[in-house]
């Protein structure tokens, strides 16, 4: 083949164009797996508005309900506690073969996430706390907020109606109040055992939605630990119900 052969020129032009074509080809978004852990008195149902926004963006989403709550409220017994809920999440990762996931905890779910993440750290890509408790090792939720549980109680009813959680839309209020259920007291009194600090190994983020004392204090601890910090103060405590699109946008960062 001569240097000036037309077929050779076409071949060289085609080869030269390959890197250019590759460079201008739109990058495909990375697929993530999100595991969304609900707070006290809630269940997996509370992510109903957020989960479709994440799946429509091409991501996988798991919304487990912790033992004794939501559709699993018939399993509530005096023995259910924080340790049970930590095992719930660890078991989900094992049986669903979840890897490279973002573990996300709302409110009380922060206690669960803090206890579970060190045991499944090899399966995680990051951890996010949403208006959540961020405990130190050996602390229980009751160390951060008074429970006011009556003597002899082993379960706690919701502390108020939906507006207590920042939900005001009438349709959302009716939907939510039909689903809130009692929280096991042991979940609030058992101390969390965190063990090794994994902050340096994984990206951590804290999203503050209210200025409630316990969550503002948790946000400060998050900053001190080097977490990324975001605010969604217009949403109220249950941002996944009141501002799902805004919350999904933060998660997709």
Domain residues of the chain, as ranges? 30-251
**How far, in Å, CA of 223 to CA of 206, rounded?**
8
- Residue-level pLDDT at 148: 84
CB 111 within 8 A of CB 130: no
- Residue-level pLDDT at 10: 52
Residues taking part in catalysis = 107
Q: What pTM was estimated for this model as a whole? A: 0.88
- Residue-level pLDDT at 149: 84
| DSSP 8-state code for residue 191 | P
* SS3 (DSSP) at 60: strand
- Residue-level pLDDT at 4: 53
Fold adopted by 30-251: Rossmann fold (3.40.50)
Bridge partners of residue 20, in order along the sequence: none
CB neighbours of residue 116 within 10 Å: 28
Pair of tokens at residue 164:
């207590």
- Residue-level pLDDT at 151: 84
Pair of tokens at residue 223:
């900053």
Pure H helices in the chain: 6-24, 51-56, 82-95, 109-116, 170-177, 186-189, 213-224, 239-242, 244-251
Mean pLDDT per 10-residue section of the chain, whose length is 253 residues: 51 44 46 97 98 97 98 98 98 98 98 97 97 97 92 93 96 97 97 90 96 96 96 97 97 88
- Residue-level pLDDT at 196: 79
- Residue-level pLDDT at 5: 55
């Amino acid at each position: 083949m001569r240097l000036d052969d037309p077929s050779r020129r076409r071949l060289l032009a085609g080869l030269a164009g390959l890197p250019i074509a590759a460079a201008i080809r739109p990058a495909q978004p990375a697929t993530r797996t999100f595991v969304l852990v609900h707070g006290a008195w809630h269940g997996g149902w509370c992510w109903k508005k957020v989960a479709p926004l994440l799946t429509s963006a091409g991501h996988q989403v798991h919304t487990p309900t912790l033992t004794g709550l939501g559709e699993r409220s018939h399993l509530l017994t005096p023995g259910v506690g924080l340790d049970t809920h930590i095992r719930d999440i660890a078991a989900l990762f094992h049986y669903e073969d979840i890897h490279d996931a973002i573990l996300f905890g709302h409110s009380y779910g922060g206690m669960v996430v803090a206890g579970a993440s060190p045991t499944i750290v090899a399966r995680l890509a990051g951890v996010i706390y949403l208006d959540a408790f961020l405990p130190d090792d050996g602390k229980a939720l009751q160390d951060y907020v008074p429970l006011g549980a009556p003597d002899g109680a082993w379960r706690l009813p919701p502390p108020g109606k939906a507006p207590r959680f920042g939900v005001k839309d009438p349709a959302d209020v009716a939907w939510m109040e039909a689903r809130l259920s009692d929280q096991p007291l042991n979940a609030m009194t058992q101390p969390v055992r965190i063990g090794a600090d994994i902050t340096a190994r994984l990206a951590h983020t804290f999203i503050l939605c209210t200025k409630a004392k316990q969550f503002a204090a948790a946000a400060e601890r998050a900053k001190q630990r080097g977490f990324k910090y975001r605010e969604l103060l217009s949403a109220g405590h249950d941002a996944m119900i009141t501002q799902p699109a805004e919350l999904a946008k933060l998660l997709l960062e």
